[in-house]
Amino acid sequence: MRMKKHNRGTGKITGMEQISKVSGIIGPVRSWIPLSLLWIFLSLPWIPHSVQAQVSLRYAQNETVTWQEAIDMYGWLDRQYEEAVLMKAGETDAGRPLHLFVISAGGIFDPDSIRAAGKAIFFINNGIHPGEPCGVDASLKLADELLSGKDPYARFLEHTVVAIVPVLNVGGMLNRGSHFRANQNGPVEHGFRGNARNLDLNRDFIKLDSRNTRSLVRLLREWEPDVFVDTHTSDGADYPYVITLIHSPQQRLERVQSEFLNGTMLPFLYDAMKNTPYEMIPYVWSMDQTPGKGIVGFMDYPRYTTGYTSLFNTLSFTVETHMLKPFEDRVLATWHLLRAVLQFCSTHPTEIREVKKQAMEEKIGRDTFTLRWEQDTSRYERLSFKGYAARTKPSLVTGHPRLYYDRKAPWKKEIPYYKYFNPVIQVEVPEYYILPGAWQEVAERLRLNGVEMKEFTADTVLEVEVYYIGDYNTRREPYNGHYWHSETSVRRENERVRFLAGDLLIPVRQEAIEYLVQTLEPRGYDSFFSWNFFDAVLFRNEYFSPYIFEETAQEILEADPGLKREFEALRSGDSVFSANPYLQLRYIYERSPWSEPTFRRYPVCRYSL
Ligand SMILES: [Zn+2]
């Protein structure tokens, strides 16, 4: 399957710019060398070898590639093989493009044609946290060896197309240093977690503050991957395993998908890794301080890559290699896992696609969704686990007892794996949401996610369900650029609301159904309300002057004996209230017709015919 490129017989590529052969490592010179000369230059036989040597992988020497080296190497692979293309896929906050590298044995590079050919799409995202670059190097090794035929797993490309984001967080990767990962064993130089705007991109998938994540979301909606893997390095406890795996908790998935994941795919992946030097274990998040008393599952809410991709029924995984293992082992363990996923995709392409299709039917037919989950600490599975004895000794720094893991005292036993969650907040699905067009930042994000909606062509009055925001907690310090809200309570009312021409009517039963419910329901953990998109409704625009309102307040109380009784009860029972005349007048104002009706009224309405 190895072919030099002379004529590129590729399919159409929509929404992305395919990089020409003159970009990449020789990009800087293309502006002044005539194109024809470049073709001659590139066709010289010694060029590929020198380029290959320049970008050779150095993970065995505890080094990771730079962003430029990664792009150069993918560019070189693009020029060498008909089965590979490096594309520019939108912008990043660092001003340099996001790239996508696609390996397609049939030479078809547009996602619709790939799906029509019955192939599975396996999507790998790297460098969201550039301090954890195992996947960056592992993906380069994977691509190089699959395309050259050195890797016998190249045969699995027959039924699967591999799409690789070389580096999502370009700015973080360019910000290279040696002291960003205090708890990590190399590589010597690595990138920084925050992007060019200091955002943690693995919290950005709903709010979409970064151009990086917007570009990736556009890509994901265009490619609709069957399987998605995000590559990381872990923090936390010490134990012998080099590699751990996170997947969406089974309750978050549709039934058919949960059964396929737990019954077929996960056993395959764990078994496959047993046949490598790197046995894999579920992600180790200790129930207690150390894993000895059990580990817990991870609830991947939609802010995370895999939480987001799961909304659209992609089978999604986060790979976390262990921070204290040598970089070479972390790269190789990640590489083995990526190969195992490729093998699985190629040996189950029809099932994967059928399960995804059925899961989408299940999802679109759902009556309720869960907005918040809590760990079920009463239910667990037993997990065979290898650990190190956790002990304490006096700290020579603080004088207090300190934790340490004794690697000379390994243990193996069954520990509880608390992988179940219980729903805390559920909501029933309306037929439509109505989003006033004024909230254009939200509308823009819905469009980016492929949501289908219609504009009202004339002003229209409808009887709808509206929410009034009650209590909520707000973080005291900004979290990823936002004062994130949580624990939001709402009151629901039926009201006649006047919508304007241009407001957006959004049918809920479409492929984005769960995305819509999780983002537009204000109590959603990662809703647009939680991420501050609707904070303006929490502000009271109009007010009253106490000395002018005195007479009106008196008339209101006289006309409403019930209100007067409540008012007097508060005055006699609440000393703060009775000592504060302004509070008393405000109490009456807020219950009067002059109090603005849209204060705290959440703008997105629920509408059912
Ligand atoms: Zn990470």
| pLDDT tens-digit series, residues 481-507 | 999 999 999 999 999 999 999 999 999
Question: b/e map of 440-456 (b: 16 or more CB within 10 Å)?
Answer: eebbebbeebbbebeeb
Whether the per-residue pLDDT at 54 is higher than 60: the answer is no
Give the pLDDT confidence score for residue 18 in this predicted structure: 56
Query: At which residue do the structure tokens 């970008």 appear?
Result: 55
∠ CA 75-79-82, nearest 5°, is: 120
Residue 142 C-beta-side C-alpha neighbours within 13 Å: 32
Quote the ligand 1 centre to 132 CA distance (angstroms). 6
Per-residue pLDDT tens digits for 529-539: 999 999 999 99
Ligand 1 centroid – CA 129 distance (Å) = 5
Helix (H, G, I), strand (E, B) or coil at 535: helix
Residue 497 CA to ligand 1 centre (angstroms): 45
* pLDDT reported for residue 338: 98
How many Å apart are CA 168 and CA 308, to the nearest integer?
Answer: 15
Q: How far apart are CA 169 and CA 192, in angstroms?
A: 9
573 alpha carbon to ligand 1 midpoint, in Å? 54
- Ligand 1 centre from 122 Cα, in Å? 20
pTM tops 0.85: yes
Nearest to 147 by CA among 241, 238, 84: 84
Task: Mean pLDDT check: name the lowest of 53-57, 67-71, 298-302, 601-605.
Answer: 53-57
- Whole-number Å distance, alpha carbon 285 to ligand 1 midpoint, is 14
Q: What is the pLDDT of residues 458-481, one digit of tens each?
A: 999 999 999 999 999 999 999 999
Taking the C-alpha atoms of residue 510 and residue 506, their distance in angstroms, rounded to an integer, is 9
Token code pair at residue 117 = 């050919």
Distance 232 CA to ligand 1 centre (A): 4
Q: How many angstroms separate the alpha carbon of residue 165 from the centre of ligand 1?
A: 15
Ligand 1 centroid to Cα of residue 182, in Å, is 14
pLDDT, tens digit (0-9, with 9 covering 90-100), for 99-137: 999 999 989 999 999 999 999 999 999 999 999 999 999
Beta strands at 160-165 and 120-125: parallel, antiparallel or unpaired: parallel
* Rounded-to-integer distance, Cα 273 and Cα 277, Å: 8
pLDDT for position 22: 33
CA of 131 from ligand 1 middle (Å) equals 8
> What is the structure's pLDDT at 56?
81
Average pLDDT over residues 36-45: 49
CB count in 10 Å sphere of residue 314 = 23
The alpha carbon of 233 and the centre of ligand 1 are apart by a number of angstroms equal to: 6
Peptide bond into 130 cis (omega under 30): no
Indicate the length of the chain as a whole number. Answer: 609
> Rounded to the nearest whole angstrom, what is the distance from the C-alpha of residue 234 to the centroid of ligand 1?
7
Q: What is the average pLDDT across 322-327?
A: 96
Strand-pairing partners, residue 606, are 433, 465
Q: Cα(451)–Cα(541) distance, rounded to whole angstroms?
A: 32
Q: How confident is the model at residue 5 (pLDDT cuts 50, 70, 90)?
A: low
Distances (CA, A) of 159 to 145, 230, 305: 17, 21, 25
Distance of CA 236 to the CA centre of its chain: 21
pLDDT digits (tens, 9 = 90+) for 158-212: 999 999 999 999 999 999 999 999 898 999 999 999 999 999 999 999 999 999 9
Chain-centroid distance of CA 89 in Å reads 18
Of 165, 150, 177, 156, give the one whose Cα is nearest residue 212: 165
Q: What is the whole-number distance in angstroms between the Cα of residue 177 and the centre of ligand 1?
A: 17
pLDDT at res. 339: 98
- Report the candidate in 440, 443, 438, 381 with the shortest Cα–Cα distance to residue 414: 381
Distance in Å, CA 279 to ligand 1 centroid:
20
Distances in Å between the Cα of 206 and the Cα atoms of 21, 24, 160, 216, 460 are: 35, 32, 29, 12, 30
Going from the C-alpha of 264 to that of each of 86, 257, 355, the distances in angstroms are 33, 10, 12
DSSP-H helix ranges across 149-206? 170-174
Query: Which residue, 142, 153, 166, 165, is CA-closest to 335?
Result: 142
- Report how far ligand 1's centroid is from the alpha carbon of 25 (Å): 28
Give backbone dihedrals phi and psi of 62, rounded to 5 degrees, phi first. Answer: 65, 35
